[in-house]
Each structure stands twice: as structure tokens, then as C-alpha cells.
Amino acid sequence: MRPEIQEYNYDWMMGSTLKAAAALPTGTKKETELTYRYIPYYKNVAQSFYSAGAPGVQTLELLAKYYENILTAHAQGKKICATTFCNSPVILYAMDIVPVTFEILTAIGAMVWKRGMFDYMDFCCETGMPETSCSSQRGAQGAVLSGLSENIDFVICDTPGVCDTNANAFAYLSEYLDKPFFQLNYPSCIGDDRSQKYHVDDYKEMIKFAERHSGNKLDYDRLAEVLEEVNKQDAMIADLEDMLMLKPTPVPPIYNLALYAGRFCFSGHPQYTKLLESMVKTAKGYADAGISGLKSKEEKLRVFMCYIDHYTVNVNFYNYMEERGIANVGSILSRNFRDNNLYVKDMPGSSYSVDMSSPEAMLDTIAQMNARLPMVRSIRGPYDKKGMWLEESLACAKMYNADCMIYNGTPGCRNTWGMVKPFARDIEKHGYPCHIMNDDAFDDRVESWDATRERLDEFFKVRGLL
């Protein structure tokens, strides 16, 4: 790792960058112009957030707050838990534990810095992690492994059975730093009684682990409060997802990013509620006016991202969609599979409901909610089985009236790369043109953005979509 990188605390650096970025729109024009001069590379990125209106700035604030929590955790006597984006932070907030979600932090780094998270990613390989493992962990993980971030206290990972590379990264981290490790494990099916029970049993073990290592008992009153907040948030998420169905959709492409980034960071936290309120308000405004959420106000194409959509290197992908008039009708990451969502109707057993009638019911709720986080839910089993990847993608494409589907991921995603070719074939058979991106969503050293963009343009043109 370059020595100059080692001069700065990573959390502090990221937190202050985002805080400053969130404050910029309130400055004078002169101040703003002056700042832009000093951040030539970040200018475009910052502007893509500002141009999303209040929700854009709130996303920046939310992310800044996330870092602030990490930075102040130990001073406040709280424990820090390293966890994956597939694990809902709800339970941790209910237990007053501060989560650090690697994938989100890596994505932010890829957006904010010109060299992205390269140095941190490479540091992981320097310690011995294979370079073929997923870049989405390797970024933030590098900061933790190198001791440049706040110390973490323990690790909870919920991708075993879902994603090897992810689970492996967390297992490696815990061993490298000698921190306690817990894995939530998922069977290859969902919706049947047996797997439902497994979710709950496993979840209860996790709570015990978290109690042991944080010294905090799970407070059910606090859990009820958090779930109440989740209830509110889920209703707004359902609103946003319903609005995605409108043609043109009033939801700007980047809202999808904000929607799940917020959920992975602050589910059950008022900060996220505020962001959702503002997203719903803005989108409703567009909906009432019958206009597209795109800056150009002209929706030329509707794309459903059948895997992740967070190509975050300098926010290039979102800007690209804006430029080309492409509406992003979501990815599997934006879905939460709450029972009040329309898309769950055709997929019985796939959803969760919120029941706060008793502690036991709350635990059931949260275990089932967790079992339905994006990857956890839909890529845990054979893609063509009930409730899995194919069914979900087709249901969404149909519901949101998508014109085509795009697969985007990282070379580290062994699980989807293992099946994406037959999957794409099946998708095509159902009438949706499907493009497989060969890039790395967080590291453009794998494929340059120029090459990625060219392939996208070619796909839209050759398949007669744009």
C-alpha cells in the first residue's frame, strides 16, 4: 500500500469527504465554484447527487452519518461489528451495536475517489487473499486489515450458502485479525416450513453470539421501536417500487442506489426514513405531473438489472443511463420482499411480514426478513427452482415492463458466473434481450469503463433497443 494512503484514517477521510460534499449545495455559488476547482474528479460525481435533488444530498448526509457512527462508536462504549450487505442492520441497531458493511463502503470509495479503492483492494491480496475474490469486500476490508480504519470487535456474516467469496472474505478477516466470527447459513431453498424454521434457529444463535460479544442484551422494546420504523420504511419502499411500474417511471436511476444503500446502512433507523420520505415526495411529484424521473424527462428504454446495478466507479453507469434516456427499473437489490409488495403475489412463500405481537413473533419477523435480503433470497439455490433467480427476474421484468435485462457483477461472483450463461439463455427464451457485462462494478482495472460503455451501446443498438 502506498505510504501516503497510510497517513490517513480511512473512516475519517471518507466521513469528512462525504460531509463536506453534503454541505456544498448550501454554500454560495462562488464557494461551490471554488470547491469544484479543487475536486476536478469528484465534481461529476458530486453533481450527479446534487442533481437528484434533496434525496441526493440526503444520501450523502446519510453516508456521512454512517462513517460518523463508526468513528465515534468506541468513544461511546459501543461495539463495532463487521458485516455484509446481505445482513440487515436492524438487529444490530436494536442491540446498540454499530455495523460496518464492507460492500457499501467499497461502493462509496469507488464513487468518491479517482483511484477508487484500488490501494485497499490490493492490500488484501498483499496479505494473501486471492485476487480472484470479490472486489466488493476487498475494498473496505483492506482498510480494516491494514489497521487504517476503526478496529472492529467481531464479525457476523450471513452469506454461507449464498456466496462463497463473500463468506470466505469475512472468515478470512476474522482469522487474520483474530476476531470472533459468526455465520448465518442458508439452505438452498426458501418458503417451505423446514427452511423457515432453519432461518429462525440460526438467527437465534446469532443473537446469542451478538449478546455475548457486545455485552448488550437484546432489548425487545427497542426491537419493537426499530421494527416500527422498518414498517414505515417498507411502506415507502413499496410506494417507490409501485412508482417504478409507471411508464415513464418517475423514479430517477440513482434512487435505486440510494434505496438499497440506505436500507443496508440504516434499516430501522430514522435517518433512512427521512431519505425515503424525500425520495417518495420527489418521485410522487414527477408521477403526478406524469413525467419521467430522468433528467432529460424522456424515457427511451426500461432496463431491469437482473443482478446488481451498482457500477459505482465514478458513478459512470448512472450517468450513462441518464445520458441515454434509460430508466432503471431496479435490480434484485432493490427488492425487499415485504408482503405489501405487488411482486410477491406470484411468488408464495417468498415474502415476510412484520408481526410485533410478542418477542417470539418479532424474532420470527426479523429472521424471515433477513432471509429475504437480495442475494440471500434469490441466488441461494438452483436458479430455475421455485422462488429463485429466474422466477424473480422474470416476475420483475414483466411487472416493471422492462425492455431488456442486464447482468452486472464482479468477477468474484463465483455463484452467479457459474450459472449466468444458462440463465441468460432462459431469459432470452422468455423474450427479454439479455446483456452480460464483463466488468467489475468496483474496479475498472478489470475492464475499462470505455470498453464497458462501448459494449452497452452495441447491445442497445444491435438488439434494436435504442
- Touching other proteins, residues 365-384 (CB under 8 A): 382-384
Considering beta carbons, is residue 93 or 118 the nearer one to other proteins?
118
Indicate whether 1 belongs to the interface with other proteins (CB under 8 A).
Answer: yes
Q: What would the grid cell of residue 229 be?
A: 420504523
Considering beta carbons, is residue 205 or 391 the nearer one to other proteins?
205
Q: Which stretch binds other proteins (CB under 8 A): 121-129, 220-228, 233-241, 293-301?
A: 121-129
Q: Measure CA 408 to chain center.
A: 13
Q: Which stretch binds other proteins (CB under 8 A): 62-70, 105-113, 126-134, 361-369?
A: 126-134
Considering beta carbons, is residue 247 or 461 the nearer one to other proteins?
461
- Which of 182, 264, 317, 400 touches other proteins (CB under 8 A)? 182
CB of 105 to other proteins, least distance (A): 20
In degrees, rounded to 5, the angle at the alpha carbon of residue 340 between the alpha carbons of residues 339 and 344 is 55
Indicate whether 311 belongs to the interface with other proteins (CB under 8 A).
Answer: no
Q: Measure CA 72 to chain center.
A: 23
Strand partners, 381: none
CB of 406 to other proteins, least distance (A): 14
Q: How many residues bind other proteins (CB under 8 A)?
A: 77
CB of 392 to other proteins, least distance (A): 15
Considering beta carbons, is residue 203 or 255 the nearer one to other proteins?
203
Rounded to 5 degrees, what are φ and ψ at 217?
Answer: -85, 145
What is d(CA 203, CA 185) in angstroms, rounded to the nearest whole number? Answer: 9
Site map 3..42 versus other proteins, x via CB under 8 A = x--x------------------------------------
Q: What would the grid cell of residue 282 be?
A: 420527489
Considering beta carbons, is residue 241 or 440 the nearer one to other proteins?
440
Q: What is the H or E stretch that residue 98 is in?
A: strand 98-101
Helix axes 220-245, 253-266, angle to 10 degrees: 170
Q: Is 405 exposed, middle or buried (0-12, 13-18, 19+ CB in 10 A)?
A: buried
Indicate whether 118 belongs to the interface with other proteins (CB under 8 A).
Answer: yes
Indicate whether 49 belongs to the interface with other proteins (CB under 8 A).
Answer: no
Contacts 24+ apart (CB under 8 A), 369-372: 369/88, 369/90, 369/230, 369/336, 369/338, 370/87, 370/88, 370/91, 370/158, 370/184, 370/199, 370/203, 371/186, 371/190, 371/195, 371/196, 371/199, 372/190, 372/336, 372/337
User: Alpha helix (H) ranges present in 128-178?
Assistant: 135-145, 164-177
Considering beta carbons, is residue 218 or 375 the nearer one to other proteins?
375
Radius of gyration of the chain (CA): 21
Indicate whether 164 belongs to the interface with other proteins (CB under 8 A).
Answer: yes
CB of 447 to other proteins, least distance (A): 5
End-to-end CA distance of the chain: 43
Indicate whether 282 belongs to the interface with other proteins (CB under 8 A).
Answer: no
Q: Judge whether 406 and 435 are in contact, CB under 8 Å.
A: yes
Q: Restricting to residues 434-463, name those near other proteins by CB under 8 A.
A: 438, 444-448, 450-451, 455, 458, 461-463
- Which of 32, 35, 72, 185 touches other proteins (CB under 8 A)? 185
Nearest to 153 by CA among 223, 98, 94, 101: 98
Indicate whether 201 belongs to the interface with other proteins (CB under 8 A).
Answer: yes
- Which of 8, 34, 130, 247 touches other proteins (CB under 8 A)? 130
Site map 382..421 versus other proteins, x via CB under 8 A = xxx--------------------------xxxxxxxxxxx
